[in-house]
A and B are shown apart, each in its own frame.
Chain A
Amino acid sequence: MTRGGSALGRLWLIFRRDCAALLGGARGRGGATLPLLFFISVAMLYPFGVGPDARLLARTGAGVIWVAALLAAILPLDRLVEPDVEAGFFDQWALRGLSEEAVMLVRIVAHWLCFGVPLMLATPVAAALLSLDLTQLGRLELGLLVGTPGLAAIGVMIAALTAGLRGGAALGGLLLIPLAVPMLIFGAGSLQPGGEGGLALLAAASLVAVAIAPFAAGAAIRAARE
C-alpha cells in the first residue's frame, strides 16, 4: 500500500507543524514571545542596575546580551519536546519509519527559527538600550548568528533528555547552563578587540552542539520508551 510521500516531504510537514507549535503560545505555555520579552527586559533593566554611564554600558553591554540570550534559551525548554512525548507524536513518527534523529534535527531548525532569529531581530533594540555602537552591534549579531544554532541544539537535546522527568523543567535549566558556557565565553570573547578567534571557536562549539544534539536527543526519546 502507498503511505505518504517521501521521507523529506513528511519531514517538511513536521517542520511546518513544529514551527507553528513553537511560534504560537499554543500549548498554554507561552510562545516565542516570552524568551524575547525576557531578553529585552534584561537589556532594559541592566542600565537601571549599574547606572546610566554610557561608557560602562558600552563596555559591558554586549556581554550582558550574551548572558541574556543564554538565559532566554532556558525559558522554552519545557515545551520543546515534552508535550509531544506525552501526546505520543514521537511514537507515531517512529511507526511511520521516521528516525528520531531526523525528527530532532527538524525540531532544532524549527526551534532556532522561532528562538534564535527573533533574538537576533531584537538585538538592535537591546544594543540601543545598552549604548552599543554599530561596530559592536555588527559583531554581536554575527556572534549570535553563529552561536544561536548551538544554543537551540543544546536546548532541544536537554528538553529531550528531561522529557517525562518530574521537575524536568528546573533540571533542564541547570543542565543547559554548563553546556552553554563555551558559547558564552567564546561569544563574549569575540567582542573584545582582536577577538576574531573567539568567533571561530564559537562557530566550532556551535557546530559540535548541532552535530551531536540530534543523536543525543533521538537516543533520549528511544530510551524513555523502555
Chain B
Amino acid sequence: MAFPLSRAAMQPCRLTVDDLACRRGDRVLVRGLRFVAGPGDALHLAGPNGIGKSSVLRVLAGLMRAYAGRVEAIGTIALSDERLPLDGHRPLGQALAFWRRIDGAVDTGDRFGLDDLADVPVRYLSTGQRKRAGLAALAASGAGIWLLDEPLNGLDPHWAGIAQSVIEAHRAGGGIAVIASHQPLALAQLAVVSLLDHVPAPDILP
C-alpha cells in the first residue's frame, strides 16, 4: 500500500555510530557497533530478548550515555518504544493532538485507523491499538530519524503490513528508520545488524 508523503522535502538526516558500546548497570551489553545511515536507509537491530536492543536505541536517542564510542545524529529524532506517551484518561484524539501541537505537525491523515477510536480514552485501548497510537504519534512528529522498538509487537498481520508501509513511505521521503525487533521485517534494502555479533566475550567484561 502506498501513502502520500507527509512532507515534500525533509532536511537531509544522517546517523553515524562509531565503535559504540552500551552498558546497562554493570554489564556491557554490546560493543563495537558501527554503522552509518543516510536518507532512505533502514536498519534492523536484530537479536534475542535481553541482548540490549532497547538500550542501544536509547543510546542512539541520546537518552542514555554511550559507554564507549560515538553517536552522531544530524536531524531530529523520534522514538517509539513499549511505553505510550499519551494521557490515559484523555480521549485518544485529544491525547494525540497534544503531541501534534507540540510538534507543530501537519495532519498526515489517518494511516493507522485511529479516527474511529478518537473518543475512546487511551487507557481502554487494546495492545495493538496502543501500538498503533504510538506509531501514529511517531509518524506525526515530523522527525527525520525514527527509532522504533519492536514496532510490530501486538499488531495483527494487516496492521503490521500498514506499519511497515508507513516506514517505507518515511524512507521514501528521505527519512531514516532504525528498528529494534526480534521479528523479521519485510522492508526493502534493509540492513541487518545482529547484536549477537557484538556481545563482548565474557573475559573482557569489566
Contact = CB atoms under 8 A, between A and B. Distances in A.
Contacts of B104: 2-5
Interface in A172-226: 225-226
A114 to B, nearest CB: 15
A10 B99 CA distance: 10
Main secondary structure of the interface of B (DSSP, over half): loop
Interface stretch (B55-63, B107-115, B177-185): B55-63
A13 B98 contact: yes
A135 interface: no
Contact of B63 (A3, A89, A225): A225
A101 to B, nearest CB: 16
A11 B144 CA distance: 22
B102 A21 contact: no
A5 B101 CA distance: 8
Given A1-B76, A26-B89, A87 B84 contact: yes
A87 B98 CA distance: 14
A50 interface: no
A96 B103 contact: yes
A92 B87 contact: no
Contacts of A225: 58, 63-64
A88 B81 contact: yes
Contacts of A92: 79, 85, 99
Interface string A84-98: 001111011011100
B87 A91 contact: no
A13 B94 CA distance: 13
A17 interface: yes
Contacts of B102: 4, 10, 13-14, 96
Nearest to A225: B63
Contacts of B10: 1
Contacts of B77: 95
Contacts of B89: 24, 26-28
Given A2-B142, A4-B103, A226-B65, A95 B78 contact: yes
B27 interface: no
A144 B142 CA distance: 44
A66 to B, nearest CB: 33
B144 A1 contact: yes
Q: 5 nearest interchain CB pairs?
A: A88-B83, A4-B104, A26-B89, A88-B85, A92-B85
Interface of B: 7, 10-11, 58, 61-65, 75-79, 81, 83-90, 98-99, 101-105, 141-144
Given A3-B142, A4-B104, A88-B84, 4 more contacts: A10-B102, A17-B98, A26-B88, A27-B88
6 contacts: A1-B10, A3-B103, A88-B84, A91-B79, A94-B63, A225-B64
